[in-house]
Amino acid sequence: MGWVLQQGRMAQTGNCRQNRDRMVDCMSKVMLHTVISCWPPFLGLALVAVFVGSTLGCPSRCECSAQTKAVVCHRKRMPSIPDGIPTETRILDLSKNKLTMINPDDFLAFPGLEELDLNHVPPNTLHGLNLTALFITNTNLSSFPYQALKHLPYVTHLNLSFNRIRHIEGGMLMELVRLRELHLVGAQLTTIEPYAFQGLRGLKVLNVSHNRLDTLEKGVFQSPEALEVLLIDNNPLVCDCRLMWILQRRHSIFFGDSQPECSTPEGIRGRPFKEFEETLLSYYVTCTKPKIHENKTQTITVDEGQQAVLRCSAEGTPRPIVSWLSPRRRVLTSRSHGRVTLHNNGTLEIKSAAVQDSGVYLCLASNSAGNDTLMTSLAVKSLGSLYANRTQYYTDPSNTTVNGTAVSGAGVWLTVRSLGPPSLYTGMRGTKTGGGRW
């Protein structure tokens, strides 16, 4: 909206400037010829320097506007930021170029820069600038540039459209306290996490049309009541209780020229938001609480070093999100990697299980309607008995104390007789600690 109008004004200004520059150039040549032919040589040379200096206000391949202090270098195939940009520039458009390298201090020469349009922004490049508008569009950007946006408290307009950004994480934009408009059109966006816009109390315009969003929950926003324009058309929206807050405001929020529509459920597929009746909302736009298929506590026993598989499948509308709580109260999610992996179907896989992995695990299936839980007890049997209750330990080459006896010198092999499998809860000086590794 605002940024489109601004670009139009910049283009008009650039055209006007071309006509004006032709007149100025012609007048300058006539005046210079007169000065050089009539005035003393040294004075003439001095004036030549003055006139020539006055024409160096714009890079040769760019268009500039003195009135708006704008420099437009759009689609010029520039490999780097051009020289000759006036220091008083307020608006700088470097979009659709082949900028391969931008240094952190490249923009510090323009203290009045307010609007910047780029295709490539490395971290810390924008540090120290007082930008009010930033456009990073049509690039190979594959994630939200959180680091590059840090320390930009004056930005009111942000456009990251037509990039391959799939997620917006929660709580990562809190420093953009003055943001009013966010545009992310055609960005392959699939998820906007709860609290993604935490701290953005004045966000009035959100444009996420032409993406892959199936929902937009109220908990995404710091102040959902402040939202005036929501462009969310051309997304596969699932019209359940998560979208109820939008449908209830369908007559007060501006959806643009293209109305958002439901992709599911079947009974309201393709129905524009503006055409919803109250009876349809209560019948179709609902959610069902998660239900875990297994409803009894499970007990799983594996040998040390084997794979342990803990299953937890749930159904509900919308599809429940499954997470696990380990014996040490660590939350295990689908982002957990390494020896412990949580699969999309809710199954928790522990590779090469250790005795310390033993304990009670809690599966939590949750969605907007509620949650359900399931406990699973895991017992990992020690392999000590397979070695005739004898386990070898190699001490550190430095001085060590073993069973009260000082041992020194090179490495020493010790044989320890096992008296049985270790307890699930062990501790020092009689105190109990959690029995899990996580």
- 279 plus 392 within the same structural domain: no
Q: What is the DSSP letter of 254?
A: B
Query: Could you give phi then psi for residue 29, rounded to 5 degrees?
Result: -65, -40
pLDDT the model gives residue 45: 35
Same domain, 308 and 178: no
Same domain as 259, residue 136 = yes
End-to-end CA distance of the chain: 49
Rounded to 5°, the CA angle 147-150-156 comes to: 125
So what's the pLDDT on residue 387?
A: 53
Closest CA to 438 of 316, 301, 308: 308
Q: Which of 284, 302, 322 is the last residue of a domain?
A: 284
Q: Indicate whether 96 and 234 sit together in one domain.
A: yes
Q: Please state the domain count of the chain.
A: 3
Please tell me the predicted confidence (pLDDT) of residue 57: 80
pLDDT at 375: 97
Using 70 as the pLDDT threshold, list the residues of the chain that sit under it: 1-56, 385-438
pLDDT for position 386 = 53
Looking at residue 128, its pLDDT comes to: 82
- Domain range spanning residue 277? 58-284
Predicted pLDDT of residue 371: 96
Q: Are strands 91-93 and 115-118 parallel, antiparallel or unpaired?
A: parallel
- 326: buried, middle or exposed (CB in 10 Å: 19+, 13-18, 0-12)? buried
Q: What is the pLDDT of residue 238?
A: 95
Q: And the tokens for 397?
A: 């080459």
Is 269 in the same domain as 349? no
Does 100 lie in the same domain as 147?
yes
